[in-house]
Amino acid sequence: MKFLAVVGARPNYMKVAPIMRACHNCRGIKPVLVHTGQHYQPNMSGDFFKDLELPNPDYYLGVGSASHAEQTARIMMAFEKVLSEVKPQVVIVVGDANSTLACSLVAAKTCVPIAHVEAGLRSFDRTMPEEINRVLTDHVSDYLFTTCEDANQNLLREGISKPIHFVGNTMIDSLLQWMPKIDASGILPRVGLSPGEYAVLTLHRPANVDTVEAFERIAANIRELARSVPIVFPVHPRTEPRIKDGTLNIDNVLLLPPLAYVDFMKLLKHCEFVITDSGGIQEETTYLQVPCLTLRSSTERPVTIRSGTNRLVQDVALLPQFVARIRQNGQVRSAVPDLWDGQAARRIVQVLARSLAGPVPPK
C-alpha cells in the first residue's frame, strides 16, 4: 500500500516525520513523501529535514511564494500529476497550510481517501487563512485524526459523519523523539544566553506583521520588556521586511535568522517565557511547561489555555502586566493533555492500515 504524505510549510515537517517513521516500521506500507515547496529556504525547510531525519522527498513541487490563491492553484496543478502517477491508497495531510487544503481538494476530486492529521481545531476566526484551510480540509477528508477532545466536539457540531479518531499530537512525537538531540544543542552558549534568563519572541501572523502600524504597537512593548529581560527573536521571512524598514529598532533584542528544529526547541525549553502568535509553539510550550503569551484574539488550541501554560494577549499594551504575572507566579506546573505521549503517529498508521487492508504487522 502506498501512503502519500504531504509537507509544505515548516510546521508540517514535525507532524509528518513521526508518520513517515511509523510507516517505515510496518510491513506492506510504502510511504511516499511529497514536498510542495511552500516553504523553500534552507532554514525553513532543508535544515528541518536534516534535524528530523526526514527522507528526501519523492516529489518536490517547487511552488514557492505567491498570493494565497495563486499558491493554492499552483500546488493543485502540480499535485494532480503526482497523484495520477503514484495512485496511493490514501493521502495524508497535516495542519492548516495552503498545501494542506490544495492537496486535499485534488485528492477529493479524484476520489482518493484523505486523512487529515490535526483535524477539528477551530479558532472561530474566519479572517485567518488557516481557519479556512482547516474547515474545508476537514469537510472533504475521510479520516479525521484529532489531538484533543475540543477538536472532536468541533467536528461533531459541524455535522461531520466520517470517522473521528482521537490519537494525540504528532508534534509531541517529534519533540520526545529528538529530546536527546535538543538537550545536546549548543545554541545557548553560541548566542550568549543562559538557561532561564531570557525570553523568546516569534511573530509571523499577517495581523501582527503585515502593516507597519500593527508591528510598531508590538515593537514598542517589546522595547519596554527588553529593558528587564534579554529577548531573542528568530525572525520569520514574513516578518523580515518590518526589521529591514527599521520598525523594530532596539539594541537589546537579539535578532536571529530562522533556526533549525533542534536549536529552536533548545531555546524554547530553557527560556523564562515565550511571546508568540504561532499555533504549534502553544502546544510545545504546554508540553515543556514553559509560560506562553499568545498575541492573538483567539486560539484554535484552547487545551493549552486550560492547561495553564498559555494566555491570550488580545491587547498588546497589556503585555507587561502578563509578564509581571508570570514572574510573580514562577514556574508552570500543569498536566500534559491526554495522549500527548509520543505514540500518535503509530496510532494513525494502525488505523489507516486496518481500514485500508486489515492488520499490518510491524517489521
Q: Which residues are catalytically annotated?
A: 204
Contact between 116 and 141 under an 8 Å Cβ cutoff? The reply is yes
Q: How far is CA 330 from CA 229, 251, 326, in A?
A: 15, 27, 6
SS3 of 253, please?
A: strand
Contact between 111 and 87 under an 8 Å Cβ cutoff? The reply is no
Q: Is 276 exposed, middle or buried (0-12, 13-18, 19+ CB in 10 A)?
A: buried
Residue given cell 510549510 in the structure block: 9
Angstrom distance (rounded) from CA 330 to CA 336: 18
Measured in degrees and rounded to the nearest 5, phi and psi for residue 279 equal -80, -50
Residue type, 87: K
Beta bridge partners of 26: 362
